[in-house]
Each structure stands twice: as C-alpha cells, then as structure tokens.
Amino acid sequence: MSDLYLIDGSGIAYRAFFAIGNWMQNSEGVPTNATFGVARMLYKLIKDYVKKGSDSVVFVMDKKTTTYRNELLETYKANRPKAPDEFVQQLPYIIEIVEHMGIKTLGLENYEADDVIATMATERSKDFDNVYIITSDKDMMQLVKDNVYILRPEKGTSDIVKYDREQVHKKMGVYPEQINDLLALMGDSADNIPGVKGIGIKTAQKLLKEYDTLENVYEHLEEVKGAAKKKLINDKDNAFMSQKLVRLMYDAPLDFEDSEMKYNGPKDSLIEYLKELDFSSLIKDMELEDEKDDEDDQDYSKKVEYKLLKPEELDKFIKNTLNKAEKVAFDLETNSLDPIKADIYGVAMATKAFEGFYLDVSKLDKDKKDKTVKKLLDALKDKKIIGQNLKYDISVLKSNGYEMEEIYFDTMIGAYLLNPDSRKFNMDDLAKKYLNYETIKYDDLIGTKLFASDIRDLDQKDVVKYAGEDADITFRLYKKLSKELEKKEMVNVLHDIEMPIVPILSEMENNGVYFDKDALKKLEDEFQKKIDKVYEEMVDMADYEFNPNSPKQVGELLYDRLGLKGKKKTKSGSYSTDAESLEFLRDKNPIVEKLLEYRKYQKLQSTYVQAIPKLINDKTGRIHTSFNQTGTATGRLSSSEPNLQNIPIRDEEGERIRRTVSAQKDGWTLISADYSQIELRVLAHLTKDETLLKAYKENKDIHAITASQIFGVDLDDVTTEMRRTGKMVNFSLVYGASPYGLSQKLNISFKEAKQFIDRYFKLYKKVEENQENAIKLAKEKGYVETLYGRKRFVKNIRTGSHDIKRIAINTPIQGTAADIMKFAMIKVYKNLPVYAKMILQIHDEIVLEIPEDKTEEIKKILIENMENAVELDVPLKADVSVGKYWSK
C-alpha cells in the first residue's frame, strides 16, 4: 500500500509566515518564520502520516507566471496585496529546506500550484491507495472524492484536519463537486473573482442545495424568489466567467518519473542546513544526531572541569600540562574592550575540550604580574595558539609590553570563512550555532553582584567558571571548525592568508593614525559655513523654514508642496526621501540639488570632521581604528570607529578630510602604495581575454580602449569625458552591472546603456563567457571561489535574481583582489625595517609613516613586494605617492 501527498507549498508557506509572526530570524539576520513553519509542518506530516520508502510526497510552488485566467479577467488576483519582502526573501530557503528534507519540489510555467495539484490528484489517484492534498485553500476542496482527501492545517501550521466528502459538506455547506459553483455564485474577493453581486455564502448554499449546479440555477431562474432572482439576472455573465476562473486545470505537463516523488527520508545535508538557519529546536524534535568527533569531544553530557591556577602554581602547570600539549586555547580577561587601555586581569587556557584553567593575575603588583605573564608566554612560544578574536589578545599584550609571536587558529575567522555573509561571529553565537551550547554572558555575570564594575569585584569561583568556559568553548569550536574547513577545502586560506594578517592588523591598530586637529577644526568651521549657506538657499527656494534632516518634512516639501513624483515608497506608503530617491529627482527641481549638497556636507561633518577628534586616544594622540577581517563577504578588510574605508576619494571634500591625516613627528612623512586597476588585471587573468591581456602586457590605457569601442571612435579621438565613461563601464561590468544599473550610473537611457554593454562584450568576448560560466558554476556548486580558494556560498543562486548573479560574477574578482592585497601586506611587512610603521590599508592601498630620509628605501620595498605578491598572466602595478599628508 502506498499513498501520495501533494502539498500546496505556496499556500502553506504564506500561512506559516503570518501564523508564526515575522520576529524570527537567523544569525545572519535573514527572516525565517515561514521557513521554520513549513519545516515544522512537513516534519509533523512525515511523522504522523508518511511511510518512508513507500509513500510519495511532492511540494508544489506557484511560479511568477500568467494563465488563461489572466486573459479571461485582467484584474484576476489584482486585489491581492504584494507579498511582504520578508516573505519573498525566504522562498529560496523554503525550497532548499524542502529538498534537504528529501521531498520533491515542483513548479510549472503557465500553471498555478492548484492546477498542478489538480492534474496530479486526478491522473495519479489510480496509482495510489490514497491521495492527500495538504492545503488551506477552499478552492481545492472540489478535488475531494473517493480516495482523494484534503489535509488542512488549522490553528497555525501544526494541527492538521482531514477532510473527506462529508467533512467538506459540513464545512462548506455543499459537496466537493459543488465547490466550483459555490465560488462562482458568491465570488472570492481575495482573488478578485466577482461572482454574483449581493449573493453571499448562505444564499449560494441554499441555491445549490435546491438546484445542485449553477447551470440548473439559471435553468430554474423563474422559481428563484426575492431579490436573489434580480441579482442572478443582472450578473449572469459574471457568474459563468467566475465559474471558469475557479475551475481547476487538469492538463499540467507532469514530465518526471514516479521514483522522483518517493519519500526515502531526509538527506544527510539536512542537519547542516537546519544549523545554518539556527533551527536547533527542530534538530532536537526531529531527533537528528550530529556526527561525533573522533575524540568524542562533542559529547556534551561530559562533565566540564574549570580550575583556578594560582601564580605560584604556574611552574607546575607548565611542566605537567603545557609542555605536553601541542595546541592551547588562549583568552585574556581584561577591564576594557579598547586594547590600548586594557589592563590584564587573567589568562584562560585549555589544552583539550571540557577543561579550562584560569590564571588570575588581577591582584598581583606590576612587577610580579610582569614576571608571571612573561613566564607563561615563554612557555607558549612553541605551541599552536588557538583563540577567539586573537587580534584583540595580541593587541592587549602589545600595549602592556608583551609579545605573542605565533598564532595558529582563530575561531572567529574560521567561522567567517565558512559563512562570510553572516555578521555574527562572537563566541556566544558560534557556540549556539556549532555546539548548541549556551555560554555564560558577561553582562549576566556582572549582574550577579550589586555595584560590580568588572570581574575583579566578583566571586573568584564565578570568574573561573566564566573564563574557563571561554577557553574550553574556544577549543571545542576549533575542533569543529577545523574539520569544516577541511571539508570545504579552505585550510590554506586560513593559514596562508588570514592568520598571517592578524598580527599585522594588530600592529597597524596599535600604531594608529595621526590626524591634524587644527586642520580638522578649520575644516569643521568651513563645512559649517557651507551647511548654513546651503540651508539659507533652500529656505529661500521653499519660501518657508523646514528641517532638512527630517524625512517627513522633506517629503512634505517635495511631494506635497512641490508636487514631485517619487521613485519608490516606504513601508508606510509615502514616497521615500533617501539618497537614491533624491538622485532620481535631481533634475526635477533645483531645491533637490541643494538638499543633496546639504546632506553631503552634513554627513562628512558628523561622520568624520566632528567625530574623529572625539576618538583620539589621550595616551597616544592618535586614532586607533579597528581593522575587521570579518566585515565583508568578499574578503576585503573593513574598518570601524571610525570607518576610514568610507572617506570619499573622488571628490574634493573627501580629499580635504584625507589631507588631515599626516605624519605626527617632524622629519617624518607618509608614503602610500596603491595597486593600479587590480580588479581589471584579475579579470584579465581569470578570463584569459586576449584584448585585456595584450593591453596590460603592453601597458596600454584600458579605459581609453573601452571608450574607443563603446563610442565607436579611434583611440586617438577619445576625449577625457569619454575615457571617464569607459572607466565607469569597465568597473561596472566587473561588478556584473545590468543595463538598468549602468544607465543609472551614467545618467543615460536604458537603450544606450544596453548598446554600451553589447559593444563592450564584442571587444572583450571572453569576459561575457566568463560571467556566464561563473553563474553556471555557482548554480552547480552552490558557491563561488577566488583564485586562492576563498569560497562564498550562494544559497539563493537558483532564484536567478540579479543580486545573486552579481555576486557570482563579482566575488571571484573582488575576492581574488582582496587576497592579493593580503599577500602583499604579508610580504611588505616581513621586509619592512623596524622604523617603518604601517598605519592604514584602504581598499587597494597601503599607507605607512616613515622617516623622510628613508623614502627611497621604503618605496623600493613597497613596489618590489606588491608587484611580486603573486604571479598572474598580467603584471601587477603599484603607484607610490609621498607627502606630509595622505592624499591621492
């Protein structure tokens, strides 16, 4: 005996979205309520109904398509509100999780999911003992017959009620074969089906009870009494049109084998996918067990042991524990998140899972603390150091006068490599995700004692438990993540690129950047005058005072008073006043240009000119920005507090801010080395395009070559403006820009942008071929990859959205360029003399602060190591500039 289960996937997903509420999201910030609801419903269905290896299951989804119904009635389903973005965003995840659960998914062009299910229920009912349709849609009740039933989720998504012929009659007041006519009479506002105006469900039920069918109702129209008769007469055409609209189609092409439908249990990949979505409760409910590590270090029932290590016990600990260990998890406890200001209170260590030691030095005097910490660090010199955000620990040690020479594995970076699109890499989140473990939170720990300011005020036993856990969990995460990196073949990326860059970033942060406060103050006054002037001009133009920082007041000015029509609307239904919307309106009214100018100066003022002086460290007189390895999905570094990566470089105002960065000492200067067109050179290497390769090998102007092609002029006739356009086309198409996107950037028509792109690909034939292959490979593998093995997992590639395609095209190029920059930094750092201070890495540029008389020596080191960082089919080129101030 075998049964067939047909699931109305679109309907179930939409019901789950609203039943659970949109508060659910995973660690990446992706909404997951609909995905979770679908998974939970499917689990219950499989558990309570489906026989593994015998029954068949199909999950049917609507596709964005039109059917005969749209031709019959132009406004069919026009009343349906647009699906929320939070729901649409989950559709690829829903399809993924269904497939991981071992269930076939299906969606056909020109057929709604209802029609596909109707066809299958009719054609395949004879091949199965029973057919069960899982849906909340009342239209589907017309399919119920001898061995075809509805399983209707009610009370959310978990309670399922079975509908046979009698249950349908009890629920709807008519039998299944009359559902079509019932809806034809009463209409359906949700799908914009008109029905007979004024006929409700009770009158429709009464008519069908008496006359059985819609046709019979009209054949016996003279017998119908009261106002219903007139309504039926007036809306006869609508009644029969509605009948056609609600009638299901039974001719959907079912081009697949029956074996594809058979349910053989979930795939092995399900547990990992549930973890990615943070569905730990489902893992538990479904009784899915994770693979045990060879050393059984994932047995969480094991008793943990965290011990206090007194300074006088350190020698014994080194002899009995550290000297026998190959790897050591290491974590500092301090009094500040700022490594420049942080004082060391203790060191937590673990040499294996489920144990931890805490060396408390918080009560020692400076001399004894110094001797204790140095002794420990000496003992750790030949060990493989493991940590969570080791850059912080290295920086704290450095600012306290200590050095940690070698580090081996950073769990934060390991987790980032496995999931670069995530933004949550703190230990609490990683422990939950990879170990299903809830850690002790620092704030909760401090909250255990009234008036406690830091861990020195707490009971030492609580501190030992907290710190010991940090080291233990770090070690456990290492065991887990290192295996995952091996599976994903990214161990080399960790050890050859990411780990060597950690101490370099630590030193850069420690070196800091010097900003000329007097120059900043002068710039602040100048910008404020500009802001005030632009505001006065806007008030004159508007003829009344308004707040340009208020989206509401700006909206009232532009859309209500001036009558402009915006580009897009906010969730509240009003036109947006964001930057994109103002750019769209730039030429519609002169006040928009002023608003954009006002916002530009206001942002530069608040984000940099006024903010930077507040961040200057009292101890060093410098800004110590944080360089983040986990801030971008492509592998590029980012910076924060302040974000120096975002200082505009193409306009005069951004250049003015950059010029406030200077050498702090007299007789010192800044030197910067910037890769020339590194992403285009990577593109040439990856595509092997003959035109690109030839241009770079012969040191020709690639932007002029592109301009010559797209404008159809000789190379000698390319103007400065044409070259600028050629440059924008070059870089835009590296990022996978669409004709629409290019038209917006160049402020040209869609048609002209399309012509530019066509001409571009005519010149660089292999670039287009490479882009198509990149998308194809991403679909096949589920990830994109840089030249050096960095991977970015693109879960939604099959949806075909332009953003996903752009990622598939751009990531291998931008990611490879980022890897090359890191290789270059490692080489430069190794060859720099001790007096040269690397202070900044911004995009494709390295900035150093050096003695002025060493300029030629450092210039040679920079060029030699950056241009030979890796070997490509085209030469790498680094441009060097020198000056008292940082400028291009």
pLDDT at 294: 47
pTM for the whole structure? 0.73
Q: Above 60 in pLDDT, residue 74?
A: no
How far apart are the C-alpha atoms of 420 and 730, rounded to whole Å?
A: 26
pLDDT at 800: 46
Residue scoring higher pLDDT (79 or 541):
541
pLDDT at 76: 47
Q: Above 70 in pLDDT, residue 206?
A: yes
When pLDDT is averaged across residues 76-90 and rounded to a whole number, the result is 66
Cβ atoms of residues 9 and 61 within 8 Å: yes
Instruction: Name the least confident of 75-79, 326-330, 573-577.
Output: 75-79
- pLDDT, mean over the chain: 88
Q: Give per-residue pLDDT as tens, 307-339.
A: 999 999 999 999 999 999 999 999 999 999 899
Local confidence band at 79 (pLDDT 50, 70, 90 cut-offs): very low
Q: Residue ranges of the alpha helices (H) in 112-235?
A: 113-123, 165-172, 179-186, 201-211, 214-219, 227-234
Q: Above 60 in pLDDT, residue 852?
A: yes
Cβ atoms of residues 822 and 814 within 8 Å: no
Q: Above 60 in pLDDT, residue 157?
A: no
**Helix, strand, coil percent values for the chain (each to nearest 5):** 55, 15, 35
Q: Above 60 in pLDDT, residue 526?
A: yes
Local confidence band at 64 (pLDDT 50, 70, 90 cut-offs): low
Q: Give per-residue pLDDT as tens, 87-134.
A: 887 888 899 999 999 999 988 877 888 889 999 998 888 889 999 999
E strands, 727-854, in order: 783-785, 791-793, 837-842, 845-851
How far apart are the C-alpha atoms of 436 and 48, rounded to whole Å?
A: 27
Q: Residue ranges of the alpha helices (H) in 544-610?
A: 551-555, 579-585, 590-604
Q: Give per-residue pLDDT as tens, 618-672.
A: 889 999 999 999 989 899 999 988 888 888 777 888 889 999 999 999 999 999 9
Q: Give per-residue pLDDT as tens, 253-298.
A: 887 888 889 999 998 889 888 888 888 788 888 877 655 544 444 5
Degrees to nearest 5, angle at CA 408 with 406 and 413: 125
Q: Which residues contact 680 (CB under 8 A, 6 or more apart)?
A: 692, 696, 702, 730, 731, 734
Instruction: Name the least confident of 229-233, 289-293, 358-362, 740-744.
Output: 289-293
pLDDT at 78: 45
Cβ atoms of residues 49 and 159 within 8 Å: no
pLDDT at 28: 64
Q: Above 80 in pLDDT, residue 450?
A: no
Helices (H) and strands (E) in the chain, counts: 38, 20
When pLDDT is averaged across residues 556-569 and rounded to a whole number, the result is 87
Q: Give per-residue pLDDT as tens, 582-595.
A: 988 888 999 999 99
Local confidence band at 231 (pLDDT 50, 70, 90 cut-offs): confident
Distances (CA, A) of 736 to 122, 175, 754, 808: 45, 55, 13, 9
Distances (CA, A) of 244 to 72, 173, 185, 194, 859: 9, 21, 12, 12, 79
pLDDT at 186: 85
Cβ atoms of residues 577 and 554 within 8 Å: yes
pLDDT at 808: 86
Local confidence band at 3 (pLDDT 50, 70, 90 cut-offs): very high
Q: What letters, b where the CB count within 10 A reaches 16 and e where it falls short, cover 585-623?
A: beebbebbbbbebbbbbbebbeebbbebeeebeeeeebb
When pLDDT is averaged across residues 419-435 and rounded to a whole number, the result is 89
pLDDT at 237: 86
How far apart are the C-alpha atoms of 196 and 182, rounded to whole Å?
A: 11
pLDDT at 68: 47
Instruction: Please name which of 729, 718, 727, 735 lies closest in space to residue 760, comparing C-alpha atoms.
Output: 729
pLDDT at 642: 86
Residue scoring higher pLDDT (826 or 575):
826
pLDDT at 230: 85
Domains of the chain plus CATH, in order, are: 3-165+246-260 (3.40.50.1010), 305-488 (3.30.420.10), 516-615 (1.20.1060.10), 680-812 (1.10.150.20)
When pLDDT is averaged across residues 67-80 and rounded to a whole number, the result is 48
When pLDDT is averaged across residues 689-711 and rounded to a whole number, the result is 94
Displacement of CA 517 from its chain's centroid (Å): 37
Q: Give per-residue pLDDT as tens, 725-765.
A: 999 999 888 877 888 888 878 888 889 999 999 999 999 99
Q: Give per-residue pLDDT as tens, 6-23.
A: 999 988 888 888 888 666
How far apart are the C-alpha atoms of 730 and 748, rounded to whole Å?
A: 16
Q: Is the backbone of residue 227 left (phi > 0), alpha (psi -120 to 50) or beta? A: alpha
Q: Give per-residue pLDDT as tens, 342-356.
A: 999 999 999 999 999
Q: Above 90 in pLDDT, residue 713?
A: yes
Q: Above 60 in pLDDT, residue 438?
A: yes
pLDDT at 812: 94
